[in-house]
Amino acid sequence: MIPFRVRITAALLIAALTPLAAFGALLVITGRADSDGSIFRILLTAFVIAALLGVGIAFVVAGSLTAPLRALATALDRIAAGDTSTPLPALADDELGRLAERQNQLAADLLRRNRQVARVVDAVGTYSPREGADHLVDLAIADARAAFGLIDARIVLGNPSVIAAEERVPGDPLPVHADLRAGAEPLGALVGHASATARWDRADQDLLELFAAFVGVGLRNAELFARVADQNERLRELDAAKDDFLRGVSHNLQTPLARIRAYADQLAAELAAGGEPDRRLGIIAEQSDRLSRMVRQLLTVSRLDSGVLRPVAEVFALGPRVRRAWEALGASGVPFTLADLSGGWLALADPDQVDQVIWGLLDNAVKYGGGTPITVSVTLIPGEGGSLEARASAEGRAAGGGTLRLRIADAGPGIADADRGRLFERYARGTLPGVEGTGLGLYVSRELARANAGDLVLDPAEPRPTDRPAGGAVGSGKPSAARGAAFTLTLPAESPTEG
């Protein structure tokens, strides 16, 4: 494409040389040219002079015409690079001047729009449903006035269709309006007035409607958050009432249960002395003990939830505690083996709470083991030592000291795979046949263990021996379901030589 400067130069040369060429041609045609060629020499000289003048004038004219265009090109390059703050210089009052004026106006609109978008983004980022709907409305009104330069603004909640739209009156402030919606649900409208001299085009209205949409979503989120907060508060109140009820029931049931057990033992002793024992009194004693254990579990849960359960750490031998708990359980028909490999190390925990954990684990092993042998082992995991006070807390135990591990296992049907992941949850019970109870025993036991800087875990399932096919081939069978269940209780410990 031929450059603009070359085209102007060529046009001026043609305009300057065409008259001379036409005059010389006219002389030749009319026969007025002299024989010695003086007229041709004059015409040639004039032709050269005109060509030189044309070229010079063309460069001057081309420079004066292209200077404003170069300024426009430079300004457009700046705008393309993101700089809209420098306006174009004022040009003559012609097409180039109007082009520069329009370009300055577009740059100003773009700069204003960028500022509006930045303020809207900053405003929306500060909206939190935790502050409530009223606070959000106040923030949205202030942000709308700042972002869009409105004289006044307000948010009207309700059906937007019943909010009357104002007519535009020349010279009066310009009314603006945008609906507040949460999805397709109308919530209200954002209304206000812009200055009568302010520019307000379709892009401004689109941005205001986008801002109103964000505000509508924020209002709905604030409403939902308030509703959820209210429901949570009601649940906390109900939970507190439930805990108070459980504490009251537990305390009120302990005394009558103790009296029932005492009278049953007294009657059993009298009848046994008279030679007329009654098995029904034994059943009453067993069931009263069972109900007493359930009440104790409920009381422990309520104390755990309220945070009033505080272990009192003491040092004691773990093996004799297991032996006494087994004797108190009275399961004489179940084989029992205790291997105390603690090496004389002493557990550091609350003895009453540990007794509750041991008794619950042994009771579960008897109940769900189906009369199979129960094996108990107490082993030591040596540590780096440490003071008694330091190891009385979880932090001190992590820093050093030994650990006693009590493992209680049975050889019963085991625990279903579907139950293993939720076994320690509150009110969780197994799905195998014959599983009954409140579902609190293992939950309470683990919480008590952890309150004493220890833990209670279910050991991985042990597969049965591999079934062998006919013919005695080894290794081609498939392992059957898991056998038995084993729980491991860990507690911080100290050496018998310390203290």
What pLDDT digit, counting tens, does each position of 19-56 carry?
A: 767 767 766 677 665 555 676 677 677 777 777 777 77
Which range has the top average pLDDT, 13-22, 48-57, 122-131, 186-195?
186-195
Supply angle C-alpha 148, 154, 160, rounded to 5.
105
State the CB neighbour count (10 A cutoff) for residue 182. Answer: 17
Residues 6+ apart with CB under 8 A from 138: none
Q: How many domains does the chain have?
A: 3
User: Does any domain span residue 114?
Assistant: no
Coil, helix or strand for 210? helix
User: Does any domain span residue 107?
Assistant: no
Q: Average pLDDT of the chain?
A: 77
User: Does any domain span residue 123?
Assistant: no
Q: Which domain holds residue 260?
A: 132-309
- What gap in Å lies between CA 219 and CA 225, rounded to an integer? 10
Q: Are residues 320 and 298 in the same domain?
A: no
User: Does any domain span residue 262?
Assistant: yes
Q: 437-452: b or e for each residue (b if 16 or more CB lie within 10 Å)?
A: bebbbbbbbbbbbebb
Closest CA to 359 of 316, 450, 277, 296: 296
User: Does any domain span residue 118?
Assistant: no
Residue 393 clears pLDDT 80, i.e. is over it = no
433 class by beta-carbon count within 10 Å (0-12 exposed, 13-18 middle, 19+ buried): exposed
Which range has the top average pLDDT, 349-358, 424-433, 490-499?
349-358
Q: Are residues 235 and 302 in the same domain?
A: yes
Structural tokens at position 28: 């030749």
Q: What is the mean pLDDT of the segment spanning 252-279?
A: 78
The pLDDT value given to residue 347: 94
- What gap in Å lies between CA 127 and CA 484, rounded to an integer? 56
User: Does any domain span residue 55?
Assistant: yes
The pLDDT value given to residue 63: 72
Q: What are phi and psi of 86, to 5 degrees?
A: -100, 115
Tell which of 279, 309, 339 closes a domain.
309
> What is the band of 478 on the pLDDT scale with cuts at 50, 70, 90?
very low
Q: What is the mean pLDDT of the segment spanning 452-457?
A: 94
Q: Are residues 210 and 241 in the same domain?
A: yes
Q: 315 with 353: CB under 8 angstroms?
A: no
- What gap in Å lies between CA 296 and CA 391, rounded to an integer? 28
The pLDDT value given to residue 85: 62
Which range has the top average pLDDT, 125-134, 275-284, 373-382?
373-382
Residue 319 clears pLDDT 60, i.e. is over it = yes
Structural tokens at position 65: 């015409």
- What gap in Å lies between CA 426 and CA 441, rounded to an integer? 9
Element (H, E) at 194: strand 185-194
Coil, helix or strand for 67? helix
Residues 6+ apart with CB under 8 A from 498: 385, 388
